[in-house]
Structure 1
Amino acid sequence: MDRYPCILRVLHWLLALMLALQFVLGFGAEYGAARVSEALLPLHFRLGVMILGLTVLRLCLRFVMPTPAADPGESPSLRRARSAVHGVLYLLVLAVPVSGHVIWVWMGADRSLPGGFEVPALFVPPEDETGRAVAWYVHVYGAWILLGLVGLHILAAVLRQRARRDGFITQRMGFKRLQREERGS
């Protein structure tokens, strides 16, 4: 197999767009005026719940669906580094929304979603706010680390494609095949 299955590619790009929007919403909520923050925070929460759900779905599918084989020319240390970065990316994409949920519950904020669903609280905040502070640090610093790792992920893919000139990104994400099919019709 030379590319990821269609559903994994769609989820990859959908999550990439959602994460970019989420970062903008979070930044605006954190540094915007009070009225801007009040308007953005509920959107930020709801989008975070969607990102968490889609990431869990993507991980489940990733474990059961075939994926492209590793590049045989890649060194074992590079392969381990790539796997570690992907693991940390997944960990952060799960930890940041979960920590956001903890903060949201601690705030006593509305956890309703479109369609009349409500995200369960899962805990009752204790009097001591240490957990809230820890969740805030995980959420904020985790988001910045996630942004940096996404940048490294993009840079690594682009540099690999430029170094080998083999259409790595378009091949793995399935665009190359679409181009060949369009030329043939």
Structure 2
Amino acid sequence: MHTMNRRPSTRYPLPLRVLHWGLALLLVLQLTLGFAAEYWTTRKTSDVLLALHFRLGILILGLMLLRLTLRLASSVPPAAEHLSRWRRCLQGSAHSLLYLLVLALPLSGHVIWVWMGADRTLFAGIQVPALFVPPDDETGRALAWYVHVYGAWLLSGLVVLHVVAAWHESLQEHAFVARRMGFGRSGLDQSETK
């Protein structure tokens, strides 16, 4: 009996790639909505934008939980061998912080939203559960606000660094990140054509 000896793919599975790019677009939109509501619009427009911001945040939280579940259940390409150990460590830390922030921001936003007594309806009468009753002491609300606002600025900075690092990587001869995320030919494809 003949078995084919194939090397593992150098690309992430398609569902993870779709979620990556979908979440990337939604995060840019979400950050723009949040900053516009906070700094660039009138109070009336701000209220409308914040309602959209809340709904989009819940969608992002759900998609991020799905992405984490798929990531843990999927076989993914090994880390980049061409990077030094400290760069791999830095890359891993940055990705972990991105994941943490993308989860923490919707959760802190939910806390703020519940504390405000705002409408938690998503669509067609479906409501996001409150999960808690706000106490008289507003320390929790203030803490959630700090996490949400400063986390949004930190996430914005990390997204910019992530894009710059990915762009720089894509210009390199090995273009490791570009191949992993679905651009160009995978390492397996290239080795089979030689």
Which TM-score applies when normalising by structure 1?
Answer: 0.92
How far has the Cα of 1:166 moved from its partner? 2.5
- 2:141 corresponds to: 132
SS of the equivalent of 2:157 reads helix
**Aligned-residue RMSD, C-alpha:** 1.5
Give 1:26-37 correspondences, 5 Å limit.
Answer: 26-31=34-39, 32-37=41-46
Contact residue 3 and residue 68 of structure 1 kept, 8 A: yes
Once residues 102 and 23 of structure 2 are traced to their aligned partners in structure 1, the CA distance between those partners, rounded to angstroms, is 10
CA distances 1:45-87 after superposition (whole Å, capped 9, x unpaired): 0000000000010011001101111122221111111111100
Contact residue 99 and residue 139 of structure 1 kept, 8 A: yes
Give 1:36-115 correspondences, 5 Å limit.
Answer: 36-115=45-124
- 2:176 corresponds to: 168
> Are residue 4 (structure 1) and residue 12 (structure 2) matched?
yes
CA distances 1:136-173 after superposition (whole Å, capped 9, x unpaired): 010010011001011111111122232x3233343111
Contact residue 4 and residue 67 of structure 1 kept, 8 A: yes
- 1:183 corresponds to: none
The structure with the larger Rg is: 2
Q: Which moved more, 1:66-75 or 1:17-26?
A: 66-75
- 2:192 corresponds to: none
Give 1:144-163 correspondences, 5 Å limit.
Answer: 144-162=153-171
Q: Which runs of 5+ in 1 are unaligned?
A: 181-185
More helix by share: 1
Contact residue 28 and residue 36 of structure 1 kept, 8 A: no
Q: Which runs of 5+ in 2 are unaligned?
A: 1-8, 190-194
Contact residue 96 and residue 139 of structure 1 kept, 8 A: yes
SS of the equivalent of 1:113 reads strand
Count of aligned pairs: 178
Give 1:12-31 correspondences, 5 Å limit.
Answer: 12-31=20-39
Corresponding letter in the other structure for 1:63: L
Which TM-score applies when normalising by structure 2?
Answer: 0.87
Contact residue 46 and residue 113 of structure 1 kept, 8 A: yes
